[in-house]
Amino acid sequence: MARREGKERAEMPKAKINRESIRKGLQLFSYVGSNKWKFYLGMLFLVGTGATALAFPTLIGEVLKAAEADWDQLLHWGWAILAVFVAQTIFSYFRIYLFVDVTERMLEEVRKATYSNLIRLSMSYLTQRRAGELGSRISADISQIQDTFTTNIAEFLRQFIIIIGGIILLFFTSTKLALAMLLIIPPLAILTVIFGYFVRKKSRGVQDQVADSNTIVEETLQGIHNVKAFANEYFEILRYGNSAAKVRKQAVQVGRLRAAFASFIIFGLFGGIVALIFYGAYLKQQGLMEYGDLVQFMLYTLFVGGSIGGIAEQYNQIQKTLGATDRVLELLNEPGEDVDLDSERRKEYPRFKGSFAFERVNFAYPSRPETPVLQGISFEAKAGEKIALVGQSGSGKTTISSLLLRFYEPQEGQILVDGKPIHDYELTRLRSQMAIVPQDVILFGGSIRENILYGKPEATEEEVIEAAKMANAWEFISKFPEGLEAIVGDRGIKLSGGQRQRIAIARAILKNPSILILDEATSSLDSESESLVQEALEKLMKGRTSLVIAHRLSTIRNADRILVLQNGEILESGTHEELINKDQGLYRRLNVMQSDFM
């Protein structure tokens, strides 16, 4: 898996340049908005840079002709060259500046639009994509688009102008020599591009093999405990040695190709240019051509040959950009959830009473439609009740909470909140009335204050501190020299599991939800942390409808009702006392198993 992902990152996607791919590429151009005039002005400066570049060989030829005439004529052409230099300097500056300015403004809007749509995509879509792949579309793909719009398109057009204009001027300079050049230089330039592409493709094969070798090192170091425990150092050394040998063999093959490529360039391309020079010298000797025209012709030949070689690389980059554009547009055009982005309007949402009910709900995950997860689930939670879900892993406990939050939609049945189907509520209003404290809390990498404020961004300092105290978190927060400004680190790595859980509880307290979901919130904690977290959870659940997914059955003895799930069905329902006294009941067996284990 790691090797495949590495190769995918190394090789950008390509798209064929056709009407459809160009249409998609132009869709991004709509994000330029009112700055399109800058793009068109930049195109005028681009034509100017191409035209001034084409003027140089002619001017050099005229200078050489003037060298045989008087000083005034030589000076005249010298000033003409200086004027062209100045013009090209101005054209180049404004062309680059305008393209960069337009591109960055466009990409700013594309980035914001892409992220805005990405974060509103459904869980069904997001769970079927790797986070790294989606992140790459905003980073690597947009960077590819940036390079092409600022550089590659302009260079492609400039070189295209030079090729067409250069060939026309070659015929004006010498028709015979131009025909000879067209028979020699373009075919050699095209062969050079094809040969170079083949060499680069083989070189990428070496890079992929090196990546495979590096993956072996990475895997070995990550699993070094297993390597040592199984005494498999010899096996790993042999595995890496075999991979290193493959790298050497492929690298040597590429070296031979590079050597052949260099020889081809020297003998073929340079040889062709030398042949043209000899033919031009012959024409001059016959009085059919002046020396200045010969130099002018050779400069145009070099311009055309270099542009033919360069335009292929620009074409390749544009293909990659169209591939990257296709991936970005997939995100931009993917239908997202109807999320209310008006923060002021969200403050005015009326509060739920907190009751909810499942009625004959059937569900299977979109990625596994043939595997039912919930089958005919029906139960009701009245406002303020504490409902616990227990059962073995895979019985559907967490899926019920995901459906209540509308992360997914059931295939059959319906879910009610305060007596109304959840589809009758705006999605943002529905979720704003709920809070979840998961088993594996992932905090943002900023400060403790920022993480608590995530529950209510406009909360005051006093509200944040009060929430931290209710969550039994203020004691450890106040011991940090930075207090609430202490940085928690990536995913909260600088805090212990119990501390992360209490920060998550403080965040939920600050949100003040009507419906609370606790997804095995204490299952991975030590006894002391569990006691503190459980005490904080009791405060949080008071006066709220709570759905508790429990792993440790000792934490749900006081639940108003316990639902025992097995294979996506509710097998048993009742209070702790009712279920524990039920002979041959699953809940009783689970209790006995946990008691024996403890």
* 324 lies in the same domain as 362: no
* 97 lies in the same domain as 167: yes
Q: Residue 352 is which amino acid?
A: F
* 471 lies in the same domain as 361: no
> Cα–Cα distances in Å, from 201 out to 33, 198, 251, 318, 544?
39, 5, 12, 18, 62
In this structure, what DSSP letter does residue 209 have?
A: H
* 31 lies in the same domain as 129: yes
Which is higher by pLDDT, 146 or 413? Answer: 413
* 126 lies in the same domain as 90: yes
Which is higher by pLDDT, 187 or 564? Answer: 564
Residue 10 lies in a domain: no
Q: How confident is the model at residue 2 (pLDDT cuts 50, 70, 90)?
A: very low
Residue 301 lies in a domain: no
Residue 1 lies in a domain: no
Residue 572 lies in a domain: yes
Q: Torsion-angle region of residue 27: left (phi > 0), alpha (psi -120 to 50) or beta?
A: alpha
**pLDDT score of 505:** 84
Range of the domain at 448: 444-506
* 91 lies in the same domain as 76: yes
Q: How confident is the model at residue 16 (pLDDT cuts 50, 70, 90)?
A: low
Residue 307 lies in a domain: no
Residue 478 lies in a domain: yes
* 120 lies in the same domain as 193: no
128 exposure class (CB count in 10 Å sphere: 0-12, 13-18, 19+): exposed
Residue 266 lies in a domain: yes
* 161 lies in the same domain as 32: yes
Q: What is the 3-state secondary structure (H, E, C) of 2-13?
A: HHHHHHHHHCCC
Give the chain's domain count: 4
Q: How much is the average pLDDT of 386-412?
A: 88
* 346 lies in the same domain as 477: no
* 179 lies in the same domain as 269: yes
Q: How much is the average pLDDT of 85-104?
A: 86
325: domain CATH number is 1.20.1560.10
Q: Which of 464, 490, 506 finishes a domain?
A: 506
**Listed ranges 133-137, 303-307, 327-331; the one with the highest mean pLDDT:** 327-331
* 185 lies in the same domain as 156: no
Would the pLDDT of 72 be above 80?
A: no
584: domain CATH number is 3.40.50.300
Would the pLDDT of 542 be above 50?
A: yes
Residue 299 lies in a domain: no
Q: How confident is the model at residue 420 (pLDDT cuts 50, 70, 90)?
A: very high
Q: How much is the average pLDDT of 132-153?
A: 75
**pLDDT score of 415:** 92
Residue with tokens 């579309």: 137
- Kindly give the residue spans of alpha helices, DSSP state H, lying in 119-174: 123-126, 131-136, 142-147, 153-173
Would the pLDDT of 325 be above 60?
A: yes
Q: How confident is the model at residue 391 (pLDDT cuts 50, 70, 90)?
A: confident
**pLDDT score of 6:** 45
Nearest to 236 by CA among 251, 250, 252, 222: 222
Phi (first) and psi of residue 65, to 5 degrees: -65, -40
Q: Residue 129 is which amino acid?
A: R
Return the percentage of the chain with pLDDT > 90, whole number: 5
Task: Give Rg (Cα) of the chain.
Answer: 35
* 47 lies in the same domain as 100: yes
